[in-house]
Every structure is written in structure tokens, then in C-alpha cells.
Amino acid sequence: MRADADASGADGPERPGFAGTRPDLEDSVAIRRPARPALLFSRYRQLEPHLGIIEPTPLANRLMVSVELHARGPTDMFRDGVHLLRPVVRPGSLGLFDLRASWAADVQDPFDNVNLFLPATALDEFAAEQGTALSGLNYRVEAPYVPM
């Protein structure tokens, strides 16, 4: 991991965004921005199956955008202790996690992903720059999608 990762504002340079049982951190890069929180990119790779429960993430005023690099099966996840089933993911699948909630997962399949940690205000700031607002957009996962 690169030494500049500690500027992320995430949860420490060694395992940003995670606590306890953790996947292998391949690399982490922080992009510093004047008078704004740093952006942090991290790549996590777990080659062995059955990692087990990844303990709840520490709360942070950040969003995590996760890009999956390899396919994997469904994953039991928990947001603030409430069970959610993340469906099968394919290479290129995206996940958006609000780290103001506590996330945990029971990871059974190997995986490889790149995560971008953004300040929680980043989407609203981007929308404002475009002359619009996202304040009414609900992107919390509440239940599985059921096609009409």
C-alpha cells in the first residue's frame, strides 16, 4: 500500500473502510484535493474461498463505489444488522454503499474489486455543478428488485 493512503479520511491506512476479518489489500492510492477530503482508491483481492464474516465497517461520512473485476455468487450482507442478499455479480458490476451505515458480509467466494471512497456529499456536489439536485434520490437497498 502506498504511504499517501493515510490522507484518505477513511478508517486508517492499512484497511480503509474495514475492521476485523479482512480481505487482502492489493493497493491503495489517495488523491489529495485542496480544502476537500481526499479521494481513496483501493483494490481488494481474496483468492481463497470461505473468508467468512467481514465484521461491520466503522461508520464514516463516505460512500464506497465498488467495481467487481471477477464474477462471484450471491453474498449475505448486513446493513445496520439487517440481512440483505447481494445477488450474483459479474465483472464490471457496480455497488454503491453508504458508509454512514454499518456493513458486514459473509464472504464465501473469492473476489477481486476496486473501491472508490468518496465523501458522502460528493454526489450532491456533482449534481449542483450540473445545475440539478439528487437530494430526493433514494439509493438505499431496501429489498430485492422484482421486475414488473
In whole angstroms, give the CA distance from residue 37 to residue 117: 10
- Residue pair 56/102 in contact (Cβ under 8 Å)? The answer is yes
CA dist 17 → 5, 74, 133, 141 (Å): 12, 21, 27, 19
What are 105's three cell numbers? Answer: 458480509
- Read off the pLDDT of residues 102-142 as tens digits, 9 standing for 90 and up: 999 999 999 999 999 998 888 778 888 888 877 666 656 55
- Residue pair 140/82 in contact (Cβ under 8 Å)? The answer is no
Check pLDDT > 60 for residue 93.
Answer: yes
- Read off the pLDDT of residues 21-32 as tens digits, 9 standing for 90 and up: 667 778 889 988
DSSP sequence for 18-69:
--SS-PEEEEEEEEEETTEEEEEEEEEEE-SS--EEEPPPPP-SEEEEEEES
What are 31's three cell numbers? Answer: 488523491
19, β-bridge pairs: none
Q: Which amino acid is located at 112 in the chain?
A: D
In whole angstroms, give the CA distance from residue 40 to residue 9: 9
Provide the pLDDT for residue 132: 80
- Read off the pLDDT of residues 49-68 as tens digits, 9 standing for 90 and up: 998 888 777 889 899 999 99
144 vs 112 pLDDT, higher one: 112
Domain boundary assignment for the chain: 3-129
In whole angstroms, give the CA distance from residue 73 to residue 80: 22
The CATH superfamily label for domain 3-129 reads: Jelly Rolls (2.60.120.10)
